[in-house]
């Protein structure tokens, strides 16, 4: 079925580690979309504040009955705003991610921001980003793939040693909706990263997962939850992912400032020269406006 693009919203393309996903309002049916404007935290944000405790209680997903779950691939999208209110989502998507321990916002009742970086490959900037975070006493989350961990063990050790969360971004960066067609393959996308992370750091990987390219399905969200993970989407991202097409520093600071909101889960790409250059001023601007930057393990 062809997707129907809602005319009131703009179509933007967000690329994660070289792959694209949409961030506009689209729909798989003719139902009207209702945007949530509530400033309350998502309903599922009330339990299980320490997902690492589930490490030894993983379900064997190969034995689960998924016959009633939809396998249709979806692309993560959101409606950005410029008035300081949280980015919107249609209620049907909120209901779906709430059901399967998914987040795109944190606590919207407070001036808090959750800063995250996606790491598909190293472009020479992560060390400087870590320097900036350390100088500003900020903890972030880095979503990494298996090749990234293998190729950059010293950076991974530094992230963990300095109190950042090093989180799961899959073994091979596939569409998780497609991977969910094979439960064994799906689970390997998680366990492969866990294994190399533990070999490098001697620690268990925190149970937060970001679907590559923002591609997911009901089935993939279900499997992710059964593996003990929370799915982390985002309420802010911008065109920062292509090293050859970097936004100007002024543009980067402007769009981040005008779309900042309570409870924002901010996605930046660490391959970005612009992000590296503006990060210090962006963090200082957030703090000057009363925002606190918190780690994902502080999600309510």
Q: Mind listing the pLDDT tens digit for each residue in 47-95?
A: 444 444 444 456 799 999 999 999 999 999 999 999 999 999 999 999 9
Catalytic residue check, 261: no
Q: What per-residue confidence (pLDDT) applies to 57? A: 53
Q: What per-residue confidence (pLDDT) applies to 13? A: 35
For 252-265, b where at least 16 C-beta lie within 10 A, e where not — what string? Answer: bbebbeebbbbbbb
Q: What per-residue confidence (pLDDT) applies to 58? A: 63
Query: 18: alpha, beta or left, given left = phi > 0 and alpha = psi -120 to 50?
Result: left
Catalytic residue check, 2: no
Question: What's the pTM value of the predicted model, to 2 decimals?
Answer: 0.83
Q: Which fold does the domain 4-41+71-298 belong to in CATH?
A: TIM Barrel (3.20.20)
Q: What per-residue confidence (pLDDT) applies to 9? A: 35
How distant is the alpha carbon of residue 91 from its chain centre? 19
Q: What is the pLDDT of residues 216-254, one digit of tens each?
A: 999 999 999 999 999 999 999 999 999 999 999 999 999
Q: What per-residue confidence (pLDDT) applies to 218? A: 98
Which residues in the chain show pLDDT less than 70? 1-58
Check 107, 118, 164, 261 and give the catalytic one: 118
């Amino acid at each position: 079925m062809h997707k129907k693009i809602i005319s009131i919203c703009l179509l933007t393309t967000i690329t994660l580690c070289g792959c694209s996903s949409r961030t506009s309002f689209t729909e798989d049916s003719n139902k009207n979309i209702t945007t949530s404007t509530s400033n309350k935290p998502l309903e599922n944000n009330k339990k299980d504040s320490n997902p690492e405790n589930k490490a030894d209680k993983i379900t064997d997903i190969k034995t689960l009955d998924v016959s009633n779950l939809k396998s249709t691939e979806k692309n993560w999208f959101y409606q950005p705003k410029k008035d300081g209110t949280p980015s919107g989502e249609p209620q049907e998507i909120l209901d779906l991610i709430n059901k399967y321990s998914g987040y795109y916002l944190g606590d919207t009742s407070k001036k808090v921001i959750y800063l995250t970086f996606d790491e598909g490959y190293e472009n020479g900037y992560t060390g400087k980003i870590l320097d900036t975070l350390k100088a500003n006493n900020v903890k972030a989350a880095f979503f990494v793939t298996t090749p990234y961990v293998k190729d950059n063990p010293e950076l991974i050790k530094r992230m963990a040693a300095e109190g950042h969360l090093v989180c799961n971004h899959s073994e091979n960066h596939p569409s998780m909706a497609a991977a969910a067609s094979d439960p064994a393959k799906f689970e390997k996308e998680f366990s492969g990263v866990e294994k190399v992370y533990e070999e490098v750091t001697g620690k268990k990987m925190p149970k937060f997962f970001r679907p590559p390219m923002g591609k997911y399905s009901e089935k993939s969200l279900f499997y992710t939850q059964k593996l003990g993970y929370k799915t982390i989407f985002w309420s802010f991202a911008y065109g920062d992912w292509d090293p050859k097409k970097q936004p100007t520093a002024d543009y980067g600071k402007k769009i981040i400032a005008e779309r900042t909101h309570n409870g924002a889960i901010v996605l930046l790409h660490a391959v970005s020269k612009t992000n590296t250059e503006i990060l210090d001023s962006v963090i200082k601007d957030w703090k000057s406006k009363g925002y606190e930057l918190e780690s994902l393990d502080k999600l309510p």
